[in-house]
Structure 1
Amino acid sequence: MGTLYSQLIVGLINGCFYALLSLGLAVIFGMLNIVNFAHGALFMTGAFLAWIGLTQVGPWLGYDNFQISYWWALLLVPLIVGALGVVIERTMLKHLYRVDPLYGMLLTFALAWILEGLFRHWYGATGRPYEIPDELYGVVDLGFLLLPLYRVWVVAAAIVACLGTWLLIERTKLGAYLRAATENPKLVEAFGINVPVLVTLTYGFGVALAAFAGVLAAPIMQVSPKMGADLIIIVFAVVVVGGMGSIMGSIVTGLFLGVIEGLTKVFYPEASAIVIFLIMSIVLMIRPAGLFGR
């Protein structure tokens, strides 16, 4: 039972990362119709920027004791990566909206390789540790399991971010403008809404979610250039199962598949690496639009 509980917790934590990353993908695809293969690389970039802020910025500035703490990284890194996303959208992606979505996928695939190659060149392929902040050291005694406090924080932060994004998209006037702009941009522009700005901010927000997940993941995973590539294929499977462009589908499916993956590691470990793709195959045969897709 101890193994079962621990794997359920691990599955829930993995599911939180799946949900956050697939949510960013769903926002970008649902609003911009772009399959953003660079999402995993931007997740990795977020983790690396947090690590650089903690370990490298001080020596660069000549102040060895200066650090950008985890809490500041959690705030600043998504803004920095979001700004990078705005530059990418304005300089590259905006030229591809009227052509086949395959071109956007190929461009973002190339961007992913460029980002990964740059970080591999600068810092090598070896994973680097990121310290857990002092406030989140320790464990929570659940009676049947001792759960690291940082894992509790990751689950709580990821769920709050996911629900906040869903509320923003589905329950606010800004979200209504975004949804309308994807259906009929000319009509929305007739009401005085600057649709290109909405599109740019949407892409920036989507990749900022990936960077936020990267900062959360840094103390759990080894910060390395491959961490995004190892995760993005699973995340795409989650998006397909939930429904391409479905906000709620990404959240629910990400958490659910993470838990299923954890349970599989207990009862049939050999299948844990393929269970998500097996579920994706079944869903595609029965409901090609995904569980929550239209």
Structure 2
Amino acid sequence: MQALFGQLLVGLINGSFYALLSLGLAIIFGLLNVVNFAHGAQYMMGAFAAWMATTYLGVGYFWALLLVPAAMGLVGVAVERLLLRRLYGLDNLYGLLLTFGLTLIAEGLFHQAYGNSGSTYPVPAALRGGVNLGFMYLPLYRAWVVVVSVVVCAASWFVIERTKLGAYLRAGTENPRLLQAFGVNVPLMFTLTYGFGVALAAFAGVMAAPVYQVTPLMGSSVIMVVFAVVVIGGMGSIAGSIFTGIGIGLVEGLTRYLYPEASSVVVFVVMALVLLVRPAGLFGRQR
């Protein structure tokens, strides 16, 4: 039982990162109709920014958790204004190719500077140690990751689905020209939306830095699973990304306990089965 609960905990932690990353992807695709392949690289850059801020500037974890997503969000704003904006109205393939190129550039630069060996980021002192639950030992930082991820995802869902700003975002998805006719600055809304999606990726990167090795390829190792999560939940579905991300993490953990050899492919098996039954995804709208 300790082995089972241990693997489910690992799956829940992975699922928390899947939920954060797929949420950012769903927000960007839902409004901008851009498949942001650079999301994994932005996650990696967030982790590296936190590591560099601590190593070279002495910035603590909690400050990095606030400052790094804000800084990466500004980088996302610059990318949207200078590059992505030129591709609106074109085929999705152009956005995919552009963001894939940005991924290769970012990974190449970080690989050239830091190699592939990986760097460790210390767990903050306030979150070290753990709690003995009797049936398993729960590290405090892992519990922190799960709780914060759920809170951030729930807050993002509430803003998008239950506020006036979220209504504007959803209206912009359906008919941006009509929304602009009512006086809403749609281009600015698009820019801020992409910046927010990038900030979510960087936030996940900072949270992941004490859990995984900080390496230039850490984004590449997770982005394909995150894309599968988005497809399973439904492209552009906020709730689908959150619930599916956490659910897939738990499924991976259970599979790792029952049949470890299949744990790396189970998400793609689930994706294939879901698409056979419901091509729009579990929470997507059928067209």
**Could you tell me the TM-score, scaled by structure 1's length?**
0.96
Q: What residue number does 1:54 align with?
A: 54
Amino acid at match of 2:179: V
Distance in 2 (CA, whole Å) between partners of 1:192 and 1:273 is 48
Aligned to 1:259: 250
Secondary structure in 1 aligned to 2:219?
A: helix
In the TM superposition, residue 122 of structure 1 has moved relative to its aligned partner by: 1.2
Give how far 1:246 is off: 0.2
Larger displacement relative to structure 2 (270-279 or 181-190): 181-190
Is the aligned partner of 1:29 residue 2:20? no
Aligned to 2:231: 240
Deviations 1:69-103 (A, max 9, x none): 00000000000110000000000000101110110
- Taking the TM superposition and a 5 Å limit, the aligned residue runs for 1:1-294 are 1-57=1-57, 67-294=58-285
Equivalent residue of 1:227, what SS? coil
Partner SS, residue 248 of structure 2: helix
Unaligned runs of 5+ in 1: 58-66
Question: Structure 1 CA distance, aligned partners of 2:2 and 2:133?
Answer: 12
**How far does residue 19 in structure 1 lie from its aligned partner after superposition?**
0.4
- State how far apart, in whole Å, the 2-side matches of 1:141 and 1:155 are: 17
TM-superposed deviation, 1:191: 1.3
C-alpha distance in 2 between matches for 1:191 and 1:158: 35
Structure 1 residue 196 displacement after superposition: 0.2
Partners of 2:134 and 2:31 in 1: CA distance? 45
Deviations 1:33-67 (A, max 9, x none): 0000000000000000000000023xxxxxxxxx0
Helix, strand or coil at the partner of 1:244? coil
| Letter paired with 2:270 | I
How many equivalent residue pairs?
A: 285
Deviation at 1:213, TM superposition (A): 0.2
CA distance in 2, matches of 1:39, 1:229: 9
- Identity rate, percent: 63
CA shift for structure 1 position 182: 1.3
Q: Which residue in 2 is equivalent to 1:62?
A: none
1:235 & 1:147 partners in 2: Cα distance?
25
2:263 aligned partner, one-letter code:
S
SS at match of 1:147: strand
Of the structure 1 ranges 18-27 and 141-150, higher mean CA displacement relative to structure 2 is found in 141-150
Query: Shift in Å at residue 128 of structure 1?
Result: 0.3
Q: CA deviation at 1:249?
A: 0.1
- Distance, in Å, in 2 between the alignment partners of 1:190 and 1:84 is 29
Q: Which runs of 4+ in 1 moved over 6 A?
A: none
**Using the alignment, how far apart are the partners of 1:186 and 1:97 within structure 2?**
13
Offset at residue 142 of structure 1 (A): 1.5
C-alpha distance in structure 1 between counterparts of 2:15 and 2:71, whole Å = 25
Secondary structure at the residue paired with 2:131? strand
CA distance in 2, matches of 1:12, 1:182: 31
Aligned mates of 1:142, 1:166 — CA distance in 2: 31
When the two structures are superposed, what TM-score results if normalisation uses the length of structure 2?
0.98
